[in-house]
Amino acid sequence: MKRITSSLLVVALAVGMPVLAGHGGEPPKAKLGELMRKKLQQSQKVLEGIALNDFDKITQHADELIIISKEAEFKVLKTPKYDLYTDEFRRNAEEMVKKAKEKNIDGATLAYMELTLTCVRCHKHTREVRTTLIERPAQTTIGE
């Protein structure tokens, strides 16, 4: 868990740095790092709702996760795989809401676990893409 939290922080900082180098105008509505922190807080509250069998709490915070996922700054990468993970994240959050409204704690728990796995896979993908971009040697043309 500590490793995942550290990874989230590193990704948030790496992605948030260009936001800090703005043009001196108003700061953006929501920085990526703030969105990721909100996402983490909301998912922790969903887990609390699951542990307490509190279906209203599960519904409320899963709905917040859906809203966060729709924020423009939520889109970190422009890759098909990232889009797939984003859609999967949203579907899992919607499934949590559905199961919570049905008062199905096992279904809500399963959807939460799937959502968590999606987060881990997406962060892994994001790290791999960024590492590839950093490690890729500069391309040269013939004759140089």
Question: Where do the structural domains in the chain lie, given as residue ranges?
Answer: 30-135
> CATH code for 30-135?
1.20.120.660
Q: What is the mean pLDDT of residues 117-143?
A: 77
Spatial CA neighbour of 8 closest among 136, 128, 120, 144: 120
Q: Is 122 exposed, middle or buried (0-12, 13-18, 19+ CB in 10 A)?
A: buried
Task: Say yes or no to pLDDT of 121 above 90.
Answer: yes
Provide, rounded to the nearest whole percent, the portion of the chain with pLDDT above 70.
69
d(CA 141, CA 98): 55
Predicted local confidence at residue 2, as pLDDT? 58
Q: What is the mean pLDDT of residues 100-124?
A: 97
Q: Give me the residue label for tokens 């519904």.
A: 59
Q: What is the mean pLDDT of residues 16-28?
A: 38
Predicted local confidence at residue 135, as pLDDT? 63
Predicted local confidence at residue 101, as pLDDT? 98
pTM of the predicted protein model: 0.69
Task: Say yes or no to pLDDT of 19 above 80.
Answer: no
What is the DSSP secondary-structure string of 95-120?
Answer: HHHHHHHTT-HHHHHHHHHHHHHHHH
Predicted local confidence at residue 22, as pLDDT? 37
d(CA 73, CA 24): 19
Q: Please, are residues 31 and 16 in contact by the beta-carbon 8 Å criterion?
A: yes
Predicted local confidence at residue 32, as pLDDT? 75
Task: Say yes or no to pLDDT of 38 above 80.
Answer: yes
Predicted local confidence at residue 10, as pLDDT? 41
- Spacing of C-alpha 105 from chain mean position: 23
Sequence-ordered strand ranges (E) for the chain: none
Residue 12 makes CB contacts below 8 A (sequence gap 6+) with 32, 33, 36, 37
Q: Tokens in use for 100?
A: 């919570």
